Structure 1
Amino acid sequence: MSLDTVENAAATPDTALPWKELGLKEDEYARVREILGRRPTGAELAMYSVMWSEHCSYKSSKVHLRQFGEKAPESEAMLVGIGENAGVVDVGQGYAVTFKVESHNHPSYVEPYQGAATGVGGIVRDIIAMGARPVAVVDPLRFGAADHPDTKRVLPGVVAGIGGYGNCLGLPNIGGEVVFDACYQGNPLVNAGAVGVMKHEDIHLAKASGPGNKVILYGARTGGDGIGGASILASETFDATKPSKRPAVQVGDPFQEKLLIECTLEAFAEKLVVGIQDLGAAGLSCATSELASNGSGGMTVTLDDVPLRDSTLTPEEILMSESQERMCAVVEPEKVDRFLAICEKWDVIATVVGEVTDGDRLEIFWQGEKIVDVDPRTVAHDGPVYERPLARPDWQDALQADDAGKLPRPASSAELKDQVLQVISSPNQASKSWITDQYDRFVQGNTVLAQPEDSGMIRVDEESGLGVALATDGNGRYAKLDPYAGAQLALAEAYRNVATTGAKPLAVSDCLNFGSPEDPAVMWQFAEAIRGLADGCQQLGTPVTGGNVSLYNQTGEVAIHPTPVVAVLGVIDDVARRTPVAFKEEGQLLYLLGDTKEEFGGSAWSEVVHDHLGGLPPAVDLERERLLAEILISASRDGMIDAAHDLSDGGLVTSVIESCLLGEKGARLVVPDGLDAFTFLFSESAGRAVVSVPRSEELRFTDMCGARGLPVTRIGVVDGDAVEVQGEFALPLNELRTAHEATVPALLI
């Protein structure tokens, strides 16, 4: 077949191209023709198809995501916001931290190990591209029913991929969560987050400025794996009858990525880089068009110079390949030799593939012929924007009317005790140590807190003890009942989890996982969740710095629960003053902070005991969340509390049992006046935490809570080798440990 050049495209307007097979709609293809004033070449079609995919262009979500900018709270900490590879915040002492969460959902179902591994690799490259050294990763995960045979296929592969890649990079995995629900059966959610640290002056951006500057592609060779992988695979509902929507998943090489990290950081240290972009979804199409469109001019690229693993690749395949461990740097001509020398030192392949021009076009050549001639903005930024129809689902009212309050409650102390054991041994409340033990949580020696703590914490500066904390949370059951409140509850829980460790919440990243945007009910859920999250961040003063939208998470007509995952980053002046989850000292007093109400909609109890989802989720009071956080941070800083644990899924009894098991200390609990034992133990009211207080600090602590207007109730004492609820039951720690730790291994081994 003869080469499809720009000249040929202009001369043969009626040549048929496979735009539909590449995921473009008819009107989108017509728009490409209108932009170019002719039909696209095959190479141009490849670029537009991947860059205008849902995964890359956010065409269905842009109109809603604008709220994060329009409602953004004032923040002195924000250094780089939405639009770059990752957000950057000031954490003090001249340090900046970059963090982001992304999705690799569909690839991880097709090929669990490589899908998850390359998800870690991709998010780490986003962090490197900002100029930072990656210091930790987190992984919020959702799988199908724990006892479903396919979960046994998907989960171990995903966990092995995350552990294998992250452990080889030498990055501690400090947080995340694992949730099981039948709604994720054919569509697991594999979200990956990363944190990086740098000095303010080391921030780098994705832009190609300066005519004559060279464009250098470096890292792994380009292969046929992942051609259109994440970009097209994540932009269509799963359907086994469409193999074209299941292209090869990218293959990761963590050792190559480790070399890429060190090589890039050395080049940064020597001030050799003008602009930089990692090659993730959409590969070279994304890197060249984004660098050019964000810079001051145009760019020419010679595709023949791209190092290949497979010499049979066509130009279209080279442009669409999502092969891993690759980056693109813009370097001044006089610094190119030094840049290449650093790459050679680290055994990283590096090739000059292009040059920044003073024009406004992205021109790509193959075998001496021009095969791409586009305005790079039209590829990278001017894709379609849809205001898709949205409608509150007709089943929403009935779902909310099906209140969990009608469910039969335990009729005796023995039944109450039995239900406590049912909940804490259920897959979602049981210990996930079988999973997290496969991750290295303490490599590099700066991990201060890691799973199963409320948030991970990393020391940033050895001398001062400056540190950052990161928590990710999301509850699809709450969001199914009310997506606005569900998104705010995810934000509130992550915010609370950061504060319980003693860190001050600063900023937010998100990973918004939803079904097909072509379903008006899903778009309503999405719009409501965005509105809730934007309103919540505005009220709490925590700006959204960036994130990810993952749509088409459904199999056939069945969508997942709307699952907005929220990551909150916090800062702590001295990690030595952190507060852990574990109860450690006999005789310390246990206090419940916040109000407990009859709130069981979407609760763990309703799911485990009654297999029920209905009613309304717990009410959200963000001012109460802010006050609770202030109390927890002050108490941690001033040494008033020795342990703290937020109350969320599973209620107070789950949190107390977890703290007892981690500290190997029992607790005696007394049901407060005005509450029955069932509500006390299982309610999932938000804005609450349980703390252990040394007796010497009791008066100071309760006075502080009283002065600030936070309800505080003494509920017991750390004591013995059982969890005892006075007048109801006692459960020995060894029995609780067996119930809590045996579930997940039994399901997966």
Structure 2
Amino acid sequence: MSLSDPDADLVRAELGRDPTPAEAALFENLWSEHCAYRSSRPLLGAFESEGDAVVVGPGDDAAVLALPTPEAADDAPGDRDADDYGDTYVTFGIESHNHPSYVDPFDGAATGVGGIVRDTMSMGAYPIALLDSLYFGAFDRDHTKYLLEGVVEGISHYGNCIGVPTVGGSVAFHDGYEGNPLVNVACVGLTNEDRLVTAVAEEPGNKLVLVGNATGRDGLGGASFASEDLAEDAETEDRPAVQVGDPYAEKLLIECNEALVDEDLVLAARDLGAAGLGGASSELVAKGGLGAHIELERVHQREPNMSALEILLAESQERMCYEVAPGDVERVRELADRFDLGCSVIGEVTEGNYTCTFEGETVVDVDAEFLADGAPMNDLESEQPSEPSRDLPDVELEAAFEAVVAAPSTASKRWVYRQYDHEVGTRTALRPGDDAAIMAIREAAGDAGADDDVGAGDGPDSTDDAEGAGVGLALSSGANPDWTAADPHGGARAVALENATNLAAKGAVPLAAVDCLNGGNPEKPDVYGGFEAIVDGLAEMCDSLETPVVGGNVSLYNDSVAGPIPPTPTLAMIGTKRGYDAPPAALDADVAEESDLLLVGEGGGALGGSQYLARAGGSDRFPALSENPADLVDTLARIARADSTVAAHDVSDGGLAVALAELVTDDAGVDVELPDRVAAFEETPGRLVVQTTDPEAVAELAGDVPVLRLGSVTTDGRLALTVGEDRLEATAESIRSRRDVLEREIA
């Protein structure tokens, strides 16, 4: 039994006996950090998770949100009430697959996609979009490139095969991820009130039905593997703990799930992920305050002579556990057979304990709630990080600009996202490569599947939506490890504001967020102190933004022989706007002479966490952020939606210098003056660069938000930047060449 002595004593006291080998393994996995959140759950109460839009909050496989009506889609969250939300729901969830992606980059990342898609399906939703946020070690290392290639290939292969578009995300590089990369994947689904399913078992006597791939021995002990530091030999020794995905089976399972939901055959559902069948079935009945009786030999298997423990804990992919009324079981079998999927009636819901038998012998007999929720929380020591001193380097402007523009974290991610099918499903209105993606959600009152009237059919440019009848769903995801390494609390606040600014740059206002909180070994006080700080910082800013955090994931023990990762609070945020049009993040030369280039928002006056310091050395405090972030984001969104706005782009990684470089095209350039290096390279979020034909209108919309005229838009396709007494010029072609470092170095 791999439980700690106190945990083992607690289990024995509850059972009144020693646990069986199968019970011991179940407790080891379900009481692991990965499943029970023993070090993080005491902190998660800091997040506000309620709101008029929230239908299902934290605790299920995915959150469920009601979309505002088109008429209310542009309104700030604080200006809406319950009547402003319609009958169309979206689901939203996020997961990590960090350790598996180090051991086997392709399968680790691929099965991360598969798992979050099944979480979406288990809520009765059809998956419509994926976002992936990826973090790797220094890009100049061969091992980093190997991991990057494998992870991107795994995501693209799985997502492309199942027909769910990958529309956004982020990629960052930092020395701290050398021995432990992070793969965080979010998924958005579409459903409505009639189709909604939860993971709460409903009634004793109902049957438990397993649908999907056969069970094998892959992924054994995956939950406990994800709850410990990566060892030096992890790539070889821990390979059996990594699942192997089959996207073609997942596609069949998606369509079968749609058919089951269409016919109202599913009473409750749970995806088989961490801890396999044992985890999914015990959690499902525990949520309903019930029990179950399962006959393990009934599980359809692909390998001979599997033991009870293997059947219980294998994390074989593409499997779902359904609660089904006895009279509907045969119809479920028929639909599974139609889609060439395995189907086993493995047991039923009971009023008693959670019991499992194998060939007539009882191998598990425990209280389901004790197994699923009985793990005691950890009480850990923490140390808060100190604030850095100010030590600003003096680097020649052109050299600093070239280094920051070509930094792997700042550089173009085109090499990554062009491998993803981001247009399948006909809902992608704004593709990857911009500040945020936009999905077209059309008004309808039907089902939410691939061929229905909610979000499918004609495509985002359909004339049916010419009057703005639909809702544009904007999506952003990511974190900045340089920010949170410099200041965990301030950096986490900035991560939340940055994602909201990404939405605002496309005219959308936030609706809700989910988080993936990644940290190192929490038993180290300095690591746990940094983790506490990112939780508090993220929670504070999301609350200030009036954006509920409706779900998430925690991944700790991201330590290796290279040391702990930087505290990494990935945030995925969705927002809404009326219609699907959005200003591009590129200048328009056709109106250059009639337009001005403005900076909307205020800088924080510091370079802490910036790519400038990461490239040039030195240190600084983290920038100050807006005191009224909700009003700021609403203002930025209204400016982005204004008829006079030609282009809009947020200021983030690399600062204003990089934002200007990204706006330049072969036809349109800029001529800008800035007072100093801080103004050029600070990365304070909550700012937009706006090309507008009516600067007075922008100033009126901005109100108390500062507006600065940066300079002029030109037609020579050049960036001309004066910083103090220094000046640099660069063509759009030379900027693209510098920013294509990923494609150049890997391809």
What's the offset of the Cα at 1:628? 2.8
Range with greater deviation from structure 2 (454-463 or 492-501) = 454-463
What's the offset of the Cα at 1:524? 0.9
**Structure 1 pair 382–296 and aligned structure 2 pair: CA distance change class (3 A):** closer
Determine which of 36, 40, 43 is the counterpart of 2:15: 36
**Structure 1 pair 244–724 and aligned structure 2 pair: CA distance change class (3 A):** closer
Residue of structure 2 equivalent to 1:6: none
Amino acid at match of 1:699: E
What's the offset of the Cα at 1:200? 2.4
Range with greater deviation from structure 2 (639-648 or 485-494) = 639-648
Determine which of 81, 98, 104 is the counterpart of 2:57: 81
Range with greater deviation from structure 2 (163-172 or 85-94) = 85-94
**1:251-266 counterparts in 2 under 5 A?**
251-266=244-259
Range with greater deviation from structure 2 (243-252 or 204-213) = 243-252
TM-score (norm 2): 0.91
Amino acid at match of 1:77: A
What's the offset of the Cα at 1:181? 1.1
Q: Is the 8 A contact 2:174 2:481 kept in 1?
A: no
What's the offset of the Cα at 1:246? 5.4
Determine which of 202, 207, 217 is the counterpart of 1:209: 202
Residue of structure 1 equivalent to 2:634: 630
**Structure 1 pair 647–548 and aligned structure 2 pair: CA distance change class (3 A):** same
Residue of structure 2 equivalent to 1:57: 36
Structure 2 distance, partners of 1:652, 1:174, is: 25
Q: Is the 8 A contact 1:536 1:622 kept in 2?
A: no
Q: Is the 8 A contact 1:666 1:723 kept in 2?
A: no
Q: How many residues align?
A: 698
Where 2:514 maps in the other structure, the secondary structure is strand
Matched, 1:698 2:695: yes
Gaps of 5+ in 2: 69-85, 443-454, 456-463
Structure 1 distance, partners of 2:510, 2:746, is: 36
What's the offset of the Cα at 1:244? 6.2
Determine which of 475, 484, 488 is the counterpart of 1:483: 488
What's the offset of the Cα at 1:596? 2.8
Structure 1 distance, partners of 2:237, 2:21, is: 18
Where 1:171 maps in the other structure, the secondary structure is coil
Residue of structure 1 equivalent to 2:720: 724
Structure 1 distance, partners of 2:506, 2:612, is: 26
Residue of structure 2 equivalent to 1:301: 294
Residue of structure 2 equivalent to 1:10: none
Structure 2 distance, partners of 1:668, 1:563, is: 35
Residue of structure 2 equivalent to 1:598: 605
Determine which of 363, 378, 383 is the counterpart of 2:355: 363
Residue of structure 2 equivalent to 1:511: 516
**Structure 1 pair 176–97 and aligned structure 2 pair: CA distance change class (3 A):** same
Task: Please list the CA deviations of residues 54-82 of structure 1 after superposition, one character each: whole Å capped at 9, or x if unmatched.
Answer: 101101111111222xx44x521111101
Determine which of 192, 215, 220 is the counterpart of 1:222: 215
Amino acid at match of 1:518: E
Task: Please list the CA deviations of residues 695-742 of structure 1 after superposition, one character each: whole Å capped at 9, or x if unmatched.
Answer: 2x332222222xx2111011123322111125722211111111111x
Q: Is the 8 A contact 1:597 1:679 kept in 2?
A: no
Determine which of 609, 615, 639 is the counterpart of 1:608: 615
Structure 2 distance, partners of 1:437, 1:222, is: 34
Where 1:439 maps in the other structure, the secondary structure is coil
Q: Is the 8 A contact 1:509 1:546 kept in 2?
A: yes
Residue of structure 1 equivalent to 2:532: 527
Residue of structure 2 equivalent to 1:408: 393
Residue of structure 2 equivalent to 1:289: 282
Q: Is the 8 A contact 1:590 1:714 kept in 2?
A: yes
Where 2:133 maps in the other structure, the secondary structure is strand
Task: Please list the CA deviations of residues 678-701 of structure 1 after superposition, one character each: whole Å capped at 9, or x if unmatched.
Answer: 2332122232111111x2x33222
Matched, 1:679 2:681: no
Residue of structure 1 equivalent to 2:669: 667
Where 1:620 maps in the other structure, the secondary structure is coil
Q: Is the 8 A contact 1:210 1:296 kept in 2?
A: no
Task: Please list the CA deviations of residues 231-266 of structure 1 after superposition, one character each: whole Å capped at 9, or x if unmatched.
Answer: 112100111367765543100000100110110111
**1:331-346 counterparts in 2 under 5 A?**
331-346=324-339
Determine which of 104, 113, 132 is the counterpart of 2:125: 132
**1:137-148 counterparts in 2 under 5 A?**
137-148=130-141
Q: Is the 8 A contact 2:289 2:369 kept in 1?
A: no
Where 2:285 maps in the other structure, the secondary structure is helix
Gaps of 5+ in 1: 1-18
Residue of structure 1 equivalent to 2:176: 183
Determine which of 372, 381, 385 is the counterpart of 1:380: 372
Structure 1 distance, partners of 2:634, 2:349, is: 50
What's the offset of the Cα at 1:296? 4.7
Structure 2 distance, partners of 1:686, 1:572, is: 21
Where 1:480 maps in the other structure, the secondary structure is helix
The percent identity for this pair of structures is 39
Task: Please list the CA deviations of residues 543-568 of structure 1 after superposition, one character each: whole Å capped at 9, or x if unmatched.
Answer: 11010000001114711111111111
Residue of structure 1 equivalent to 2:382: 390
Residue of structure 2 equivalent to 1:320: 313
Structure 1 distance, partners of 2:562, 2:586, is: 44
Matched, 1:275 2:256: no
Amino acid at match of 1:325: E
Amino acid at match of 1:186: G
Matched, 1:249 2:221: no
What's the offset of the Cα at 1:174? 0.8
Where 1:728 maps in the other structure, the secondary structure is strand
Matched, 1:735 2:734: yes
Q: Is the 8 A contact 1:187 1:560 kept in 2?
A: yes
Q: Is the 8 A contact 1:648 1:686 kept in 2?
A: yes
Structure 2 distance, partners of 1:289, 1:570, is: 35
Residue of structure 2 equivalent to 1:90: 66
**Over aligned residue pairs, what C-alpha RMSD do you find?**
1.7
Where 1:599 maps in the other structure, the secondary structure is coil
Task: Please list the CA deviations of residues 419-464 of structure 1 after superposition, one character each: whole Å capped at 9, or x if unmatched.
Answer: 2122111211111111111111111121112321111111111642
Structure 2 distance, partners of 1:318, 1:481, is: 45
**Structure 1 pair 241–347 and aligned structure 2 pair: CA distance change class (3 A):** closer
Where 1:440 maps in the other structure, the secondary structure is coil
Residue of structure 2 equivalent to 1:434: 415
Structure 2 distance, partners of 1:175, 1:557, is: 29
Where 1:451 maps in the other structure, the secondary structure is coil
Matched, 1:746 2:738: no
Amino acid at match of 1:734: E
Residue of structure 1 equivalent to 2:81: none
**Structure 1 pair 174–622 and aligned structure 2 pair: CA distance change class (3 A):** farther
Structure 1 distance, partners of 2:383, 2:398, is: 43
Task: Please list the CA deviations of residues 73-112 of structure 1 after superposition, one character each: whole Å capped at 9, or x if unmatched.
Answer: x521111101111111111342111111211000000000
What's the offset of the Cα at 1:597? 4.5
Residue of structure 2 equivalent to 1:496: 501
Amino acid at match of 2:687: R
Task: Please list the CA deviations of residues 156-207 of structure 1 after superposition, one character each: whole Å capped at 9, or x if unmatched.
Answer: 0100000000000111111111111111000001111111011123221002
**Structure 1 pair 596–296 and aligned structure 2 pair: CA distance change class (3 A):** closer
Residue of structure 2 equivalent to 1:618: 623
Matched, 1:538 2:543: yes
Q: Is the 8 A contact 1:173 1:450 kept in 2?
A: no
What's the offset of the Cα at 1:224? 0.6
Where 2:492 maps in the other structure, the secondary structure is helix
Q: Is the 8 A contact 2:589 2:668 kept in 1?
A: no
Q: Is the 8 A contact 1:46 1:319 kept in 2?
A: no
Structure 2 distance, partners of 1:495, 1:725, is: 28
What's the offset of the Cα at 1:622? 4.7
Q: Is the 8 A contact 2:128 2:188 kept in 1?
A: yes
Q: Is the 8 A contact 1:209 1:296 kept in 2?
A: no
